[in-house]
Chain A
Amino acid sequence: MSRASAIEKESVQISTIQDLTGVFESIASTQVAKVKNKVDLSGEFFQLLWDRYRSIRIDPASRITARALGDEKARKVYVIISAEAGLSGDIDLRLIETMMQNYDPKTTDIIVLGSHGANQLTQRGIHFERFFQVPETDKYINVDPVIEAVMPYSQIIVYYEEYISLGVQEIKSIDLISRMKTLGETDDSSEEIMTAEDTIFEPSLDEIADRMEMTMMTIALSQAILESNLAQAASRFNSMAVAKKRATELLTDYQLEFHRAKRSESDRRLREVMISIKKKKAHAKGIH
C-alpha cells in the first residue's frame, strides 16, 4: 500500500482535475445557452427576409438558385464545418466518416472550416481544396470568403453538426442551392405579390433579389456554422461531464485509500509503541 502522504498528494491533483473539468463543463454549458439564443435570432431573421423575398416576383431562370441546372459537368463541393480546436468530443470524427460515405474525388472538391476537421482529413490522406478558420461567432459571422470560394461550383453540400439536445448531436448535410430553390418554389397563395408596377425598387428589382439571395445563402451557411458550434459545445459539455464524473469517482477511491493508509500507518505506530512498551517492561523485570 502507498504511503498516506503520497496518496494525499495524488488526491490533490485529482481534485484539481475535478475542479478544472467542472469549470470547462460550466463554460460549455454557458456557450450552449449563448449560441442557442443566436440560432433562434438568426432563424427569425431568415424567416422575415424569406417572407419579403417571396413577395417579389423575379424570373426564376435567371436566379442564383437556378444556375446549377445548366452545367451538369461542373464539379460539386463539400463544405465541412468542424471545430477550430480539439476538446470537441468525437463529433468531428463522425462528421468526416459521414462525408466519406458519399465522397468521390473525381467529381467533388472539399472545403474545410476548422483546424480539427483539416487535421482529421490530413491524417486520412484526403486532399482538401481550401481551408478556412471557423469564423468568429461572438458578434458577427463573416462567411463572405467561404461564399466566394463555393460560388463557382454547381452543387454546394454543407456537412455540419446539428444540436438536437445536450445529449444528442447529429450529423446533417444540406444542399445550399437546392434548399433555396425548393423554398423558392413553395407556393404560398396567401402571399401578396409586389411588382415594379406598384412598388418602388432602388436600385432595381433584380439587384435587390440578387442581394437578398446572397444574404439568405450567407445566413443559411452562418446557421450551419452556429448549429455546429452548438453541437460542439454540447459534445464538449458531455465529454467534460464524463471526465468530471470519472474524476469524482477517482477522488472518492483515493480518499478511501488515503484513510486506509492513514489507519494502517497509525496501527503500525501503535503496534511499534506496544512492542516498545513490552520490551521496556521485560527489560525492567530483568533488571529487578
Chain B
Amino acid sequence: MADKESVSNQMTVIARAPFHLYYEGPAESVTAVNKIGKFDILPGHADFFSMLDPGEVVIGTNTDQVVFTIHNGIITVRDNEVMLFVNM
C-alpha cells in the first residue's frame, strides 16, 4: 500500500540540454520560472506547455534536490511526464 502511494506521488522528469542530461527519473516536484513568475509542477498536474525564463530550476526527488541554472527553455507536462528542454 505504501509503495502504491509513493508511486502516485511521483512523476517522471527528464531535464536536458542539447549536450547535457541534467536529470532523468522519478521526482516529486519541479520548480521553474516563466513570464508569469515562479511556478511548481506537482504529480497529477494538467497537461501544460510553457516557455521558460532565465533562472533556477529545482527538481525535488524523494532523497535529494537537483538544482541548475538555465538561460532559456521549454517545459512540457503530459500524462504525469515532465520534460524540460533547456539552454538551447
Q: Which residues of A does B touch, CB under 8 Å?
A: 38, 41-42, 44-46, 48-49, 52, 55-56, 139-141, 194, 198-203, 205, 207-208, 211-212, 215, 218-219, 222
A207 and chain B: residue at smallest CB distance: B51
Contact of B47 among A44, A46, A194, A215 (CB under 8 A): A194
Residues of A near B35 (CB, < 8 A) are 202-203
Q: In the bound complex, do residue A222 and residue B83 qualify as a contact, i.e. CB atoms below 8 Å apart?
A: no
Q: In the bound complex, do residue B18 and residue A208 qualify as a contact, i.e. CB atoms below 8 Å apart?
A: no
Q: Which residues of B does A touch, CB under 8 Å?
A: 14, 16-21, 34-36, 46-51, 74, 76, 78, 83, 85, 87-88
Having A194-B47, A200-B49, A202-B48, one finds 17 other A-B pairs with CB under 8 Å, namely: A41-B19, A41-B21, A45-B85, A55-B78, A56-B49, A139-B19, A141-B18, A194-B49, A194-B78, A199-B47, A200-B47, A200-B48, A201-B49, A202-B50, A202-B51, A203-B35, A208-B49
Distance, CA A211 to CA B34, complexed state (A): 14
27 inter-chain pairs at a CB distance below 8 angstroms, sorted by A residue, are A38-B19, A41-B16, A41-B18, A48-B14, A48-B85, A52-B74, A52-B83, A55-B78, A56-B49, A194-B49, A194-B78, A199-B47, A199-B48, A199-B49, A200-B49, A200-B50, A202-B34, A202-B48, A202-B49, A207-B51, A208-B74, A211-B74, A215-B74, A215-B85, A218-B88, A219-B88, A222-B18
Residues of A near B21 (CB, < 8 A) are 41
Residues of A near B18 (CB, < 8 A) are 41-42, 45-46, 140-141, 219, 222
CB distance from B36 to the nearest CB of A (A): 7
Q: In the bound complex, do residue B51 and residue A211 qualify as a contact, i.e. CB atoms below 8 Å apart?
A: yes
Residues of B near A208 (CB, < 8 A) are 49-51, 74
Distance, CA A139 to CA B46, complexed state (A): 34
CB distance from A248 to the nearest CB of B (A): 37
Distance, CA A212 to CA B48, complexed state (A): 15
Known: A202-B51, A211-B51, A215-B88. A41 touches B20 (CB 8 A): yes
Residues of B near A219 (CB, < 8 A) are 18, 88
Prevailing SS type, chain B contact patch? strand
CB distance from B34 to the nearest CB of A (A): 6
A200 and chain B: residue at smallest CB distance: B48
Distance, CA A211 to CA B35, complexed state (A): 15
Residues of A near B51 (CB, < 8 A) are 202-203, 207-208, 211
Distance, CA A44 to CA B85, complexed state (A): 11
Residues of B near A205 (CB, < 8 A) are 49
Q: In the bound complex, do residue B19 and residue A52 qualify as a contact, i.e. CB atoms below 8 Å apart?
A: no
CB distance from A189 to the nearest CB of B (A): 17
Residues of A near B46 (CB, < 8 A) are 199-200
A209 and chain B: residue at smallest CB distance: B49
A41 and chain B: residue at smallest CB distance: B19
Distance, CA A205 to CA B47, complexed state (A): 13
